[in-house]
Structure 1
Amino acid sequence: MAYWLFKSETSTWSWDQQVAKGEAGEEWDGVRNYQARNFMREMKLGDQGFFYHSQKDREIVGTVEVIADAHQDSTTEDDRWDCVDIKALGPLKSPVHLDQVKADPRLADMVLVKNSRLSVQPVTKAEWDIICAMGGV
């Protein structure tokens, strides 16, 4: 299993909206960055990820699971853009703010710290475990 981080502005797509989709989940659509798209093409069913509120909140609030392999993004007819479907697994007991991630030297090499603008990014198993512990999961 691989681990990922999915970033969204709360005004565009929030954790509450993701949770409301239930088992059916939702496409992680609208990504127009080649590196982020390529990461989604690498994802496998059952991979897990963090749901991150970007912009104002800047915090990891929950965990998600990939429930559909990469496929054509339904928000465009341009066949260069793919997406995966994800469903919410559960909230973190305590959201983990970006400042907390940056303050932890064990997370200094995390993509979120080094390239915080990338909307879909890999997370190592060690980073996953550290953040889950910080979030009370």
Structure 2
Amino acid sequence: MAFWLLKSEPSVYSFDDLERDQETVWDGVRNNAAAFNLKSMQVGDEALFYHSNIGKAAVGLCRITKSAYPDPTDPTGRWVAVSVAPVRRLARPVSLAEMKAEPGLAHFPVIRQSRLSVAPVRPGEWRTILALAGEASP
């Protein structure tokens, strides 16, 4: 299983929305690096759901339920989407400031490539985020 980071502006689509919907299409990604990451996702992989702009914090965990397929919002057929479902809300949000203060997250995508909306997360980074949230890691 691989780990990922999915960023969304909570005013557009929040973790509350994902919990309400129980599954969603992660579409609208129009960045080559982020699209490559979407194409690399497999069913069962897990992702941190990160609220960008407002909140700037990892707030929940979600699971990939359908691997890459043509993005239904893309008339060109160039871009892909995946489907995701909520796993659980983190015990407490982990803010960007907390992440930046943690030496083990120096290369974490939200710090190193702040504009990338879909990024891989290393297992050690995953465990560190869960620990910062007050949770045990898998």
**Shorter-chain TM-score tier:** over 0.9
Coordinate RMSD, CA, aligned: 0.7
Aligned to 2:119, which of 113, 118, 121?
A: 121
Cα offsets for 1:77-117 (capped at 9, x unmatched): 21111010000100011100000000000110111111111
Cα offsets for 1:47-93 (capped at 9, x unmatched): 00000000021000000000001001111221111010000100011
Indicate the percent of aligned positions where both proteins have the same amino acid: 39
Q: Secondary structure at the match of 2:37?
A: helix
- Which residue in the other structure is 1:54 paired with? 52
Aligned to 1:68, which of 49, 66, 83?
A: 66
Instruction: Supply the distance in 1 between the matched residues of 2:128 and 2:16 (Cα, whole angstroms).
Output: 24
Instruction: Supply the distance in 2 between the matched residues of 1:7 and 1:105 (Cα, whole angstroms).
Output: 22
Instruction: Supply the distance in 2 between the matched residues of 1:71 and 1:56 (Cα, whole angstroms).
Output: 29
Point out where structure 2 has 5 or more consecutive residues left out of the alignment.
none
Equivalent residue runs for 1:81-92 within 5 Å: 81-92=79-90
Deviation at 1:28, TM superposition (A): 0.5
Are positions 1:77 and 2:82 aligned together? no
TM-score (norm 2): 0.96
| Runs ≥4 residues deviating over 4 A | none
Q: Secondary structure at the match of 2:116?
A: coil
Are positions 1:18 and 2:18 aligned together? yes
Paired letter, 1:132:
L
Point out where structure 1 has 5 or more consecutive residues left out of the alignment.
none
